[in-house]
Amino acid sequence: DTAVSQTPKYLVTQMGNDKSIKCEQNLGHDTMYWYKQDSKKFLKIMFSYNNKELIINETVPNRFSPKSPDKAHLNLHINSLELGDSAVYFCASSQGQGNNEQFFGPGTRLTVL
């Protein structure tokens, strides 16, 4: 059973389009995250979200919006895609935010043409 799953695995789209990436976790965790990994493998937090609060990273453009229909899902919607958005996006989850490991999804490779 996949603990943290993401769809799609690959996403190729044109500049200016709007796209969504879905994430689901079946671990019963209360906190979920979105990370962006660039071509140099640098992994950077974009958002963290638990059932209490959405933490927005100030460096993330407002074209990116997380949406959480319930505790098990955290989707990422991206408006007006730009070339620089090309990266691998990872979803993760954890129980709480403190001394617990994060479980990562397999990633979604987004390519903007």
Partner 1 sequence: SQQGEEDPQALSIQEGENATMNCSYKTSINNLQWYRQNSGRGLVHLILIRSNEREKHSGRLRVTLDTSKKSSSLLITASRAADTASYFCATLTLIYSGAGSYQLTFGKGTKLSVIP
Of 18, 39, 45, nearest to 104 by C-alpha is: 45
Q: Among 11, 19, 24, 48, which residue interacts with partner 1 (rule: CB under 8 A)?
A: 48
Q: At closest approach, how far in Å is the CB of 102 from partner 1?
A: 6
Q: Does 12 bind partner 1 (CB under 8 A)?
A: no
Rounded CA-CA distance 113/27 in Å is: 35
Residues that bind partner 1 (CB under 8 A): 4, 33, 35, 40-45, 48, 52-53, 55, 90, 92, 97-107
